[in-house]
Amino acid sequence: MKPSPSRRDTEKDALEFEFLEGCKKSGTLNIDGVKQCVDHNEIQILGVLGSGSCGVVESAMVRQKLMAVKTMYKNDNKENLKRILRDVRIMSLCNSPFIVTSYGYFMFDSSVKICMQIMSACCEKLLRRIYHSKLDFFPEFVAGHIVYSAISALDYLKEKHSIIHRDIKPSNILFDDAGNVKLCDFGISGFMTNFMAHSKSAGCPPYMAPERLTIETNSKYDVRSDVWSLGITTYQLVTGVYPFPLNDLEFTTLTIIANLNLPSPSLKEETKRNFSPVFIEFLDLCLRKNVHERPEYKKLMKNDFFLDYDPASGDRYKIKQLNETENQVAVWFNDIKKRTRAEDELKPMPNTPCVN
Ligand SMILES: Nc1ncnc2c1ncn2[C@@H]1O[C@H](COP(=O)(O)OP(=O)(O)O)[C@@H](O)[C@H]1O
Ligand SMILES: [Mg+2]
């Protein structure tokens, strides 16, 4: 029996329509400012760069341009289609030095390929390489550069497109060889109305803010939940550990995060490394459990720690240019890559959530 028109899933129909509309632009790539119609057979896959919950990212050569190609498989599930379309739509929309640039995409019946600027490594992989080679975790100046870049990207998304990222974690923050830091992965991002997100759309629970883990507030939150995720990510990058006890039962961890009566993690308690008071205070602000006490981007952008790593701050800018092509972050990054092993990227490390 055919379903009656009223029983049709109109949201799914709209998504299918958006997919078909998207197909019209399939294969039109904008490579270095030149629009070109490319056949998918021209994509020469070179190797795997990474994989996550939604797809696989490979390095590829397309018309003599080295790029990263993310392949996502389409199935009959509405959430899967939503996720793919969001990633395509938002990547195509963005134009920021702090967000991975998209060159265009290919849409097929059963899969979608996004062609994008190739980056060198995500922070999750760097962490693993550092851990397995027993080197020092991310230094404070690199954390400062990441915080400056990520907040600039998140503020751009909010102000220009009313978008909230919702999936800030080490694997979605990428470095290139020049030390530039950019965000990727918009599969679970959302559009806001009245500056609030209105969906319970999943993210990665260990990085979710307390208000997203609480039943009364989990469908009404704002960009400050990304501030929390950035705080947890930064804490993990500089200490090498996730700041909450990780049990087999994820539920226990999430209960501890959501309980406003239990203290937030703080670098004040860190004994192995010495961090500056401005950095400690900045992270404490990002990790305020009560969302009403947690600052928004504009306030964070006036914070001393942020200003120290904002190149527009003039003399107080802390990242030194060491020669014509390299600054301190690039030198640190390339040194880590030299002194660690690529095969360790796939080996998990203890005391961190195993997520991609
Ligand atoms: N442009 C890129 N250049 C290099 N590596 C990338 C790029 N985009 C993603 N990656 C790698 O692939 C992984 C998965 O990509 P992501 O877009 O986060 O997919 P998922 O939605 O499956 O999490 C990232 O964590 C990163 O290691
Ligand atoms: Mg990801």
Domain ranges of the chain: 17-116, 121-346
Architecture of domain 17-116: 2-Layer Sandwich (3.30)
Collect all residues with Cβ–Cβ distance below 8 Å to 52 and sequence separation of at least 6: 171, 185, 356
Closest ligand by atom to 171 CA:
1
Q: Give the pLDDT confidence of 67-98 residue by residue, as tens digits.
A: 999 999 998 888 899 999 999 999 999 999 99
Task: Write out pLDDT tens, residues 131-170.
Answer: 999 999 999 999 999 999 999 999 999 999 999 999 999 9
> For residue 40, which of 103, 106, 88 has the smallest C-alpha distance?
106
Q: Is 227 in the pocket of ligand 1 (CB under 6 A)?
A: no
Residue 197's pLDDT is 77
> Over 80: is that where the pLDDT of 346 sits?
yes
State the average pLDDT over residues 313-342: 96
Structure tokens belonging to residue 295: 């600052």
Query: Left (φ > 0), alpha (ψ -120 to 50) or beta: where does 155 sit?
Result: alpha
Nearest ligand 1 atom to the CA of 122 is 27
Q: Which of 116, 174, 181, 233 to mutate to test the pocket of ligand 1 (most atoms within 8 A of CB)?
A: 174
- Residue pair 115/67 in contact (Cβ under 8 Å)? The answer is yes
Q: How confident is the model at residue 351 (pLDDT cuts 50, 70, 90)?
A: confident
Least confident of 72-81, 179-188, 257-266, 326-335: 72-81
Tell me the sheet residues that pair with 96. none
Ligand nearest to the CA of 51: 1
Predicted local confidence at residue 252, as pLDDT: 87
The CB-based long-range contact list for 243-250 (8 Å cut-off, 24+ gap) reads 244/206, 246/206, 246/351, 246/352, 246/353, 250/205, 250/206
What pLDDT is stored for residue 248 in this prediction? Answer: 65
Indicate if ligand 1 lies below 6 Å from the C-beta of 101.
Answer: no
Q: In whole angstroms, what is the distance from residue 349 CA to residue 128 CA?
A: 6
- For the CA of 54, the closest atom of ligand 1 is 22
Determine which residue's CA is closest to atom 25 belonging to ligand 1. Answer: 171
Q: Output the residue whose Cα is nearest ligand 1's atom 11.
A: 50
Cβ atoms of 296 and 223 within 8 Å: the answer is yes
- The active-site residue out of 167, 226, 308, 310 is 167
Calculate what percentage of the chain has a pLDDT beyond 70.
Answer: 95
Q: Which of 57, 60, 62 is nearest to 34 (CA)?
A: 62
What pLDDT score does 9 carry?
Answer: 83
With beta carbons less than 8 A apart as the criterion, state whether 264 and 244 touch.
no
Q: Does residue 333 surpass a pLDDT of 90?
A: yes
Q: pTM score, two decimals?
A: 0.95
Side chain identity at 316, as an amino acid letter? Answer: R
Q: Assess if CATH 1.10.510.10 describes domain 121-346.
A: yes
The mean pLDDT value of the chain amounts to 92
Q: How far is CA 115 from the centre of its chain?
A: 17
The 3-state DSSP class for residue 28 equals: strand
Q: What is the pLDDT of residues 161-196, one digit of tens each?
A: 999 999 999 999 999 999 999 999 999 898 887 677
Check if 167 is active-site: yes
Q: How many CB atoms lie within 10 A of CB 223?
A: 22
Measure 84 CA to ligand 2 centroid, in angstroms: 12
Task: Report CA(166)–ligand 1 centroid distance (Å).
Answer: 16
Q: How many Å is the Cα radius of gyration of the chain? A: 21
Q: Is the CB of 300 under 6 A from ligand 1?
A: no
